[in-house]
Chain A
């Protein structure tokens, strides 16, 4: 049949000694947990397990320099969301360079599966996810969050930013040369302005 096939060894003799060995394993764990403080458990909520900078927690709408949302209500996130939990209504912004903004932006956190596709789909880096993961509500309506809650910065500062766009850094050679030329000859570095959201 296939190469590298090994037959498992059934003839592992049982007896009293292995049982004692098992006790020894348990005693070691006991010692480690109690005296060396190496237990796997932690005292939540006083201690919390740290999560990585890519954690997919509750969403955050990023802001421009003037504090308004970066979001231009392009509906990419609502389109890609597998759970269909994003609801957006759009309106006109007077600034011609911006044109559009969300008059309503709601996410049903109960439907959301925290997959992060909305962040992947956003062409403006307008939505990211934070590291906020302790979500509590007493009614369903409470857990449908609106634009103001998404713009609020309290939880973001408390928990830190999580899943957000990361450049794949596979810029094509033609563009790299063009970028170098722009920088050296004109002092221009193209790209989006730096966000003011705190990054951990």
Chain B
């Protein structure tokens, strides 16, 4: 498991990142681990910047995709060098490899050099780590509150910050930008309550005529600190919270969470459960893409596709409701599988939904793709180059629109995706049109996957029979003491994973949705960090729209599919 370079087993040291970094840093590497297959390297604080640069630039490593950076508070936990830990997750598209780089910062001087110079995406993540933990990043241009409001006092993710404490915001921040003197410029807010903002997030732009000369984003309106709540809930109780992350494709969040915890436990779900999860996740992806496309064009004045495409969502919602009793807040997954099997008319409902999606897809396609106005509004608007996208940490349809064919389902298959035939659409230009085409094609591919999964769906249980993880069947609980005791222990004690940490990731509708889970062996996770795909995507937005016209900014924002629940958590 975890060991220093001297004590590490040779297979661990042979991994490229481990080898390169240990050759360069020697005994400034404090620990190496491949718990549950995740390569994690802890370095001394002095080596942080150097290690990060090596990860990105070394030819054998090439970790160009920025995923996540977060803080962890190990207050009063034995076995940790300092109180705070900073954890970086990056990915190499060329080598298909995830890596975790960690370092400790002491409570007396919680600071680290910024990684902005290496990955642009580090900006908001470091700001969030300052906001929630009080870790200072030297050289960061704007270490100010991001998710909490400006009158907030304290750092809420710290373990000694009481969860129930409240701070009132008396006067919200009016100006995000510096307004030059004179009448040449117009300052306007886009959001947070604005129909063009698909969720409660804000951008403020400075206009010269119709052209945007400066822009800044403000988020946090929907910040409920899911991650702090997760530290006080059992792994089972966190499931309803996950539905409220990306609420347009809520089932997928639960799927991702369950997979992350199952990875931590080393307990897989049975094949039937995985098959059903794939079907419902793909339907959720379709729902999310239908929303993304149709609400995007509503802002451009094309309202019809919205009315048409939402009809298919109704069929999918009815399918979900028939399975678990709720349309959006499904809470259908369980650690180790699903809460119950699908109803008898599952396949019939799926076929109805598939037909419905096919119909509205065709209609939407007919309404939009070859429409002259639509193409003029979308083509060559909001171009995001490949390398920049990786540096920001773009994933999902937005990244694929820029020409990078990274899809977790293909490159790191889970839940049986390796057994399904499907294509990964990519764009060439990285403009709004490409992102639109990618999403439309993904809907078609999702339908392919669903049909295959339905055909291959095996019989069997829908939850693991590991009694440390899954509730026993009710017939057992009612009739024998052993199952009753088992049930009781799982309810009041909960699942008790081994000590350790994992990064579990799936292909959400917006891209790689990750859950970094740290367990101290108790029934509550010590730390949960959500890697929200649209967080990195929205971070680039103010930079993308500088120099464009305001109407283009509206076209761009819809296509990024920013969901506030996932953005702010």
Interface residues of A (CB under 8 A from B): 1-10, 12-19, 21-22, 24-26, 29, 40, 51-52, 54-56, 76, 79-80, 82-83, 113-117, 120-121, 123-125, 129, 162-163, 165-171, 175, 190-192
Contact = CB atoms under 8 A, between A and B. Distances in A.
Contacts of A22: 304, 366-368, 371
Nearest to B229: A82
Rank and list the top 8 A-B pairs by shortest CB-CB distance, nearest first: A18-B370, A8-B437, A56-B325, A168-B473, A82-B237, A54-B325, A14-B372, A115-B240
Given A8-B425, A22-B367, A82-B240, A2 B343 contact: no
Given A2-B411, A82-B237, A121-B491, A10 B428 contact: yes
B322 interface: yes
Given A2-B405, A8-B438, A10-B427, 7 more contacts: A1-B405, A6-B425, A14-B372, A22-B367, A52-B325, A120-B471, A171-B473
A116 B325 contact: yes
Determine which residue in B374, B425, B429, B491 has the highest number of CB atoms from chain A within 10 A of its CB, and name it. Answer: B491
B433 interface: yes
Nearest to A124: B478
A170 B461 contact: yes
Contact of B465 (A25, A170, A175): A170
A193 B308 CA distance: 49
Contacts of A16: 372
Interface string B407-439: 100110000000001111111110001100110
A196 to B, nearest CB: 17
Contact of A117 (B236, B441, B474): B236
B514 to A, nearest CB: 19
A116 B237 CA distance: 11
Interface residues of B, number: 74
Contact of B343 (A5, A52, A56): A52
A166 B340 contact: yes
B91 to A, nearest CB: 14
Contact of A4 (B241, B326, B423): B423
B236 A10 contact: no
A7 to B, nearest CB: 6
A7 B429 CA distance: 11
B363 A25 contact: yes
Nearest to B320: A52
5 contacts: A10-B433, A22-B371, A51-B321, A54-B323, A54-B340
A2 B407 contact: yes
A75 to B, nearest CB: 8
A168 B341 contact: yes
A28 B463 CA distance: 45
B385 interface: no
Contacts of B379: 10
Contact of A52 (B322, B329, B437): B322
A123 B441 CA distance: 47
B373 to A, nearest CB: 8
A24 B304 CA distance: 12
A26 B364 CA distance: 10
Interface of B: 93, 233, 236-241, 304, 307-308, 310-311, 314, 318, 321-326, 329, 331, 339-341, 343, 363, 366-372, 374-375, 379, 405-407, 410-411, 421-429, 433-434, 437-438, 441, 461-463, 465, 471, 473-479, 484, 487-488, 491-492
Nearest to B422: A4
A25 B405 contact: no
B426 A54 contact: no
A174 B137 CA distance: 62
Nearest to B334: A120
Given A2-B405, A10-B434, A18-B371, A120 B339 contact: yes
A56 B331 CA distance: 11
Given A6-B441, A25-B366, A167 B475 contact: yes
A163 B339 CA distance: 12
Contact of A12 (B324, B329, B370): B370
Nearest to B487: A123
Contact of B426 (A3, A8, A13): A8
Contacts of B492: 76, 79
Contacts of B372: 14-16, 18-19
A16 B363 CA distance: 17
B79 to A, nearest CB: 30
Contacts of A19: 371-372
Contacts of B311: 40
Contact of A80 (B241, B341, B406, B491): B491
B410 A113 contact: no
A168 B427 contact: no
Contact of B441 (A8, A29, A170): A8
A3 B415 CA distance: 19
B428 A7 contact: yes
Contact of B366 (A15, A21, A54, A121): A21
A73 B491 CA distance: 15
A40 B465 contact: no
B367 A40 contact: no
Contacts of A191: 475, 478-479
Given A4-B422, A82-B240, A115 B331 contact: yes
A76 B488 CA distance: 8
A182 B484 CA distance: 21
B461 A168 contact: yes
B491 A79 contact: yes
Contacts of B241: 82
B471 A14 contact: no
Contacts of A124: 478
A178 to B, nearest CB: 10
A76 B424 CA distance: 46
A14 B368 CA distance: 10
B331 A5 contact: no
A29 B362 CA distance: 13
A123 B488 contact: yes
A21 B492 CA distance: 60
Nearest to A131: B325
A25 B473 contact: no
A136 to B, nearest CB: 20
Contact of B325 (A24, A55, A76, A80): A55
B375 A167 contact: no
A160 B366 CA distance: 43
A63 to B, nearest CB: 17
Nearest to A52: B322
Contacts of B433: 10
B434 A8 contact: yes
A21 B304 CA distance: 13
